[in-house]
Amino acid sequence: MTRIVFMGAGSVEFTKNLLSDLLAMEFADSTTIVLHDIDAERLETATAMARWMVAKLGVGTAIEAHVDRRAAIDGADYVINEIAVGGYAATRIDFDVPARFGVRQTIADTLGIGGIFRALRTIPVMVSLGEDLAELAPSSLLINYTNPMSMIPRAVYEGSPFKRVVGVCHSVRDTQARLAALVGVPVDEIAFQTAGVNHQAFVLRFEHRGENLYPRLDAAIAADPSLERTVRVAMYQAFGHFPTESSEHGSEYLPWFLHRDDQIAQHRIPVGVYLEWCEENLDTYAEAKRALAAGEGVEIEATSELASEIIHSIETGMPRVLHANVRNGGLITNLPDDACVEVPCLVDRAGVQPTRVGDLPPQLAALNRTFLNVGELTLRAALERRREHAYHAAMLDPNTAATLSLSEIRSLVDAMIEAHGLEF
């Protein structure tokens, strides 16, 4: 039987979405879904939900649940990861401590001081997971959702013996749908080429039957002044290609926006919005727990999650082209080989097969290298347990560097290390 492990299964909305997809697939009767979470109470809720869904759909999928990670991954074919090390309490630290120093953030999970510290507490866990997978499930595929995406898969393939890891994110697919709607062309009729670093990839090719659609996009922007009040459009107009990340998220990877009140107002940047989303997620979990206890169950609706599509293509041979985050190794020729990059990939029975893109336009590669430099130093800090590299990562982070002096950055890093209880 195909053994699919959910890491961080206590995130019940994510687990529900994946189960809605996987339980509808033709191999569901010969599949074992294994749920793992270190929070026993959340794991119990996720397990009750999974068993309710299996019974509701009348499929033969077996459900297992394990608090012990090694028991969960032993013999796995696929491991889907969406852990959040430290949970909501750690996320609050990532916002509250920098705010005392005057550093503004929106999501704080990818770059910026929040992204650096999410990585510093997550990388040791992921390296340990890679070591366990190399021992217990060496032929499995690790599909990672956890941010920071440019750092987590790299930490696994560089810091452990396990190399079969890909990262997935909705940003490219969502951006392509958004652009198709803006120019009024069905998304499945558009020739896209999108590549770069996760959350800072760019649409390189945007065509319909040989027609470059960027002029149509320019017309759509000119016809709607509200579009020009977004970070994405500002970046498109400055760098010549449309970015894949949302305006609120993209603003915190750059030096031009969050430290200036006028830019926050002009681009309508929602500072601290991720904390609101986290609180909504807590409410969603509480409602799911109540509904399951009352016998009401949950809504089952296919979502076409990227992990489920990857598994379906490998198991059935149905080919798909999806964007995934993989070791560069020459795929993007003007970015470092060891970097984790986001490129189109063919997925079929042979697995996830990345596409070579070649050179990015030089201005995009330069911007990506700025992004990757922070990740490189954060990775070194985590793998080598060197506090100095944590300072260096924060010093080179665009938003932090635009806001604080060198001595203030060192003080902020020290305060974050103490608040998170990290050892360096």
The rounded percent of the chain whose pLDDT value lies above 70 is 100
Within the chain, how many helices (H) and strands (E) appear? 17, 13
Lowest mean pLDDT among 21-25, 203-207, 225-229, 405-409: 225-229
Residues 6+ apart with CB under 8 A from 362: 334
> Is residue 70 in some structural domain?
yes
> Is residue 405 in some structural domain?
no
**pLDDT tens digits, 334-353:** 999 999 999 999 999 999 99
340 pairs with which residues across the strands? Answer: 327
Predicted confidence at residue 135, as pLDDT, reads 98
Predicted confidence at residue 8, as pLDDT, reads 97
- Is the pTM here over 0.95, yes or no? yes
**pLDDT tens digits, 295-325:** 899 999 989 999 999 999 999 999 999 999 9
Query: Residue 138's Cα: distance from chain center in Å?
Result: 23
Q: Look up residue 349 and give its amino acid.
A: R
For residue 169, give Cα distances in angstroms to 172, 188, 247, 307. 7, 19, 16, 9
> Is residue 46 in some structural domain?
yes
Is the sign of the CA dihedral 218, 219, 220, 226 positive or negative?
positive
3-state secondary structure of 242: strand
* Residue for token pair 């940003």: 171
The count of domains in the chain is 1
Rounded-to-integer distance, Cα 410 and Cα 65, Å:
43
* pLDDT confidence tier of residue 424, bands split at 50, 70 and 90: confident
Instruction: Return the CATH number at 48.
Output: 3.40.50.720
* pLDDT confidence tier of residue 117, bands split at 50, 70 and 90: very high
Torsion of Cα atoms, 204 then 210 then 211 then 214, to 10°: 0
- Structural domain including 144 reads 2-86+107-167
Q: Which two tokens stand for residue 299?
A: 């809504």
Mean pLDDT of 363-371: 98
> Is residue 364 in some structural domain?
no
> Is residue 323 in some structural domain?
no
243 pairs with which residues across the strands? Answer: 202
CB 197 within 8 A of CB 368: yes
**pLDDT tens digits, 143-178:** 999 999 999 999 999 999 999 999 999 999 999 999
Output phi, psi for 10, to 5 deg: -65, -10
Q: Is the pLDDT of residue 191 over 90?
A: yes
> Is residue 272 in some structural domain?
no
Residue 346 buriedness (CB in 10 A; 0-12 / 13-18 / 19+):
middle
Alpha helix ranges (H) inside 103-213: 112-136, 152-159, 171-183
Rounded-to-integer distance, Cα 103 and Cα 117, Å:
14
Reported residue count of the chain is 424
Residue 389 buriedness (CB in 10 A; 0-12 / 13-18 / 19+):
buried
> Is residue 75 in some structural domain?
yes
> Is residue 8 in some structural domain?
yes
Q: Catalytic residues, which ones?
A: 170
